[in-house]
Amino acid sequence: MKLTNKFTLWYFAIMLVVLLIGGAIVYYEIQWKISRVEVVRHQRLNDLIAQQISKGGDYTDHPTRKRATVREIPADSMPRGEQSYYTRGLNWNPEFQANEFRLVVTSFYTIHGRHYRIATYSFIPSFYQLLPGVVDSFKWILLLLLILVAISGKLIPKYILSPFKRTLKVIQCFDLKQRKSILLPETRTDEFKELNKFLKKMTDKALEDYQSLKEFAENASHELQTPTAIIRGKLDLLMESDIRDDQAILIAEMQTALEKLSRIHSSLTLLTKLENKEYTAGTPVCLSMLTRETLDSFEELIQMKSLTLSCHIEEKVYIPLHSSLADLLLTNLISNAIRHNIPGGNIKVILTKAGLIISNTGLQPQLPVSELFERFKKGDPASDSIGIGLAIVRQICDLMNFNIVYEYVSGQHLIAISFQPSLLASKLLQNLNFPLYTVMQP
Amino acid sequence: MKVLIIEDHQELARNIHDFLAKEGYICELSCTQEAAREKLGLFQYDCILLDIGLPDGNGLHLLDLIRKEHQDSNVLIISARNALDDKIIGLENGADDYLTKPFHLAELHARIRAVYRRKNLGGTHMIEFNEIMLNTDTFEVRIGNTTLDTTRKEFDLLLYFIVNKNRVLSRQAIAAHLWGDYTDNLANFDFVYQHVKNLRRKIAGAGGTDYISTVYGLGYRFDAHKHEAET
């Protein structure tokens, strides 16, 4: 839900509560005010009557006496405190022939040593008659407010939130790789100022960290590769000297370990670079051609292992991938399919515009197949590989938003890569009925 | 052949120096750009090995100087940085080849020879060793008058052996030469064995001398004196 809609809804809720309470207040206020005004009027009238009595004379038919009762009372009936009080209640109004609200104001006077009680009354509008009016007017106020808030809820945020939206756009376009500090729009809103300040600080820090990470990766690569190169050179030279057989074995073992070290190192550096997204796709590569070339380069290895290779390679499959990465992807997958194969086994390569499927015969992996994508996980712990090839493959797929899946079904290792983010790779495996043609067989 | 090694790591420079000296190359070392500039100002070299990460600046700057004043020299970049950019920039600026550390010295030697052949021997693509003739243009191997039916890999292998004759070549060095070194392919050593076996069989089948011998535990050696020893 949009922020502005949330605000508007909250305003509606608050308005409703305020208007309900406000309505009640107005209702009671009017009620009280009407009574008050009437009471004051009647007190004045009572005072007037008292004056007439003190002047003396006959006022019996005087208009002031129309709704008044004057009675002389004994001294002990005089109230001690307040000289006036009023009562209200429903009474029969003979003029209108209806039960109406009657207000009676009773005052006490002492005139020339005699005590009087003067009471006047009048019929006032019933409070129940006022209620619909109050409700009606508040209904209109509420309607008006609703319309205004709804309109302003749409228009005002557009104006107020525009710096925020521009900031959002800038942040969405931010790319560590471009190594450009972000330029945020000016704003007069304190919160947005603070947000912009924070974002600026954060992205600058990220850029700085990225830079130092990159430098570290490059330095580490440089600093570690050189000693490795030195050791390797020394071993090469040592091999040329006059050595005994047992020493030769030691040198050979060192060579193997060194080889592994340098491979692990270069693979990890490569993974770091992939994670840093240092390879951006240029022009789309023709995967059909590249697949064929890669298969050709592995021809001898396939023959040596007496494997049968069959293919279905669709023409002109172009995907937007850095050519080195495409090469790496295919080489890793195909060399894996060869290496982890069984003698006399088979390899099937299916390339369509939707994706790539490579299947090969092989032994049951000792780990769940999904774990094989992790670094240094190997299906066969005894094998000589370093277990990083598939991690690189997955990293490339992640980078390109390709979906990849690995399955082991009845002696077949199946790896499928879907080139379309919307298509799950496992879907590709459901339809494997492509016309395969055999490229190589022992 | 005169070689200038521009490399700031003394030990590595000495390795290269020792290895190439055995081939009868005259090698000179410089550890900094300054020293290299001085040497380049005074002498001509057939081949320049250039490390990109030098203490006093990026070695790519030196490349411009070399291209301006030493058009005839071959330049081989040696770098620990596998960064693709460096590779492309280096080759665009006129380097002849690019080698990533850590490399095998035999590989370096093979690259130097290949670059040298490409540039200095002009039209000839023939490499001769006793009765063996290799045509680097058609990838054809001839023993005397017989043409050998070799695969591309076997051709590369034989060339590698001949360039690095009388040296022990480890299986790792051969695998790296034949398959490159960016895949996780340690199992390729079996394939090295297969290739060497096939190559030896083919040469022997054509009546050639079996120069290649196994060095216990380490790898193989192309023994240039075998022929003389036998006759």
| Domain spanning A285-440, CATH architecture | 2-Layer Sandwich (3.30)
What integer pLDDT is reported at residue A91 of this predicted model? 86
Average pLDDT over every residue of A388-398: 87
- pLDDT one-digit tens code per residue, B194-204: 889 999 999 99
Q: Which residues of chain A lie closer than 8 angstroms to B151, CB-CB?
A: 300
Yes or no, beta carbons of B218 and A252 under 8 Å apart? yes
Contact residues, chain B, for A335 at CB < 8 Å: 183-185
Specify whether the CB–CB gap between B48 and B70 falls below 8 A: yes
CA B40 to chain centre: 23
Which of A212-221, A418-427, B19-28 shows the lowest per-residue confidence on average (mean pLDDT)?
A212-221
Contact flag A263-B186 (C-beta cutoff 8 Å)? yes
Q: What's this model's pTM, rounded to 2 decimal places?
A: 0.63
A429 backbone dihedrals φ, ψ, rounded to 5°: -75, -15
Examine the pLDDT at B4 and tell me if it is beyond 90.
yes
Q: Which residues of A touch B104 (CB under 8 A)?
A: 232, 236
Nearest CA in chain B to A324: B84
Residues 6+ apart with CB under 8 A from A209: none
Handedness of CA A201, A204, A206, A209 (dihedral sign): negative
Q: Which of B14, B177, B183 to mutate to test the interface with A (most CBs of A within 10 A)?
A: B183
Backbone angles phi, psi at A380, to 5 degrees: -125, 105
pLDDT computed for residue A424 by the predictor = 85
Give yes or no for B55 touching A (CB within 8 A).
no
pLDDT tens digits, one per residue of A78-127: 887 778 888 888 888 888 888 888 889 999 988 888 888 999 988 887 77
* Whether pLDDT at A368 is above 90: no
Chain A hits for B106, Cβ within 8 Å: 236
Angle between helices A190-240 and B10-22 (to 10 degrees): 40
Q: For residue B121, what pLDDT is reported?
A: 66
Radius of gyration of chain B (CA): 19
User: Is there a contact between B188 and A301 if contact means CB atoms under 8 Å apart?
Assistant: yes
Round to whole Å and give the CA distance between A262 and A268. Answer: 10
Nearest CB neighbour to B218, from listed A218, A232, A239: A239
In chain B, which residues have their Cβ closer than 8 Å to the Cβ of A328?
182
Task: Supply the ipTM of this predicted assembly.
Answer: 0.80
Q: Which residues pair with A84 in a beta bridge?
A: A107
Mean pLDDT rounded to a whole number for chain B: 84
User: How crowded is the C-beta side of A244, counted as CA atoms within 13 Å?
Assistant: 2
Q: How many CB atoms lie within 10 A of CB B115?
A: 18
| Predicted confidence (pLDDT) per residue in B128-179, tens digit | 888 889 988 888 899 988 898 888 888 999 999 998 988 889 888 888 888 7
pLDDT surpasses 60 at A414: yes
How large is the average pLDDT for residues A7-15? 87
Residue B164's nearest CA partner among B221, B122, B125 is B221
Q: What domains can you pick out in chain B, each with its CATH number?
A: 2-120 (3.40.50.2300), 126-230 (1.10.10.10)
The predicted pLDDT at position A346 comes to 92
CB contact residues (below 8 A), chain B span 131-190, against chain A? 151, 153, 167-168, 170, 172-173, 181-188, 190
Question: Which one of A219, A232, A377 makes the best mutation probe of the B interface by having the most chain B beta carbons within 10 Å?
Answer: A232
Chain A residues with beta carbon closer than 8 angstroms to that of B18: 237
Pairwise CB contact (< 8 Å): A225 & B100: yes
More confident residue, B184 or A234: A234
Lowest-confidence segment of A140-149, A269-278, A324-333, A357-366 by average pLDDT: A269-278
- For A326, other C-beta atoms within 10 Å of its C-beta total 22
* B215–A contact, CB cutoff 8 A: yes
Flag whether pLDDT at A163 surpasses 80: yes
Minimal-distance CA residue of chain B relative to A263: B184
pLDDT band at B28 (very low <50, low <70, confident <90, very high): very high
Per DSSP, B212 falls in state E
Question: If you average pLDDT over residues A405-415, what whole number do you get?
Answer: 89
B167 CB neighbours in chain A (<8 A) are 240
Residue B125 has pLDDT above 80, yes or no: no
pLDDT band for position B227 (50/70/90)?
A: low
Report the pLDDT averaged over residues B18-34: 90
> Across residues A210-235, what is the average pLDDT?
81
pLDDT tens digit sequence for A288-303: 999 998 888 888 778 8
Minimum mean pLDDT range among A20-24, A44-48, A299-303, B130-134: A299-303
Has residue B229 got a pLDDT over 60? Answer: no
The token pair that represents B70 in the structure block: 């030493």
pLDDT-derived band at B81, boundaries 50, 70, 90 = low
**What does pLDDT average to over chain A?**
85
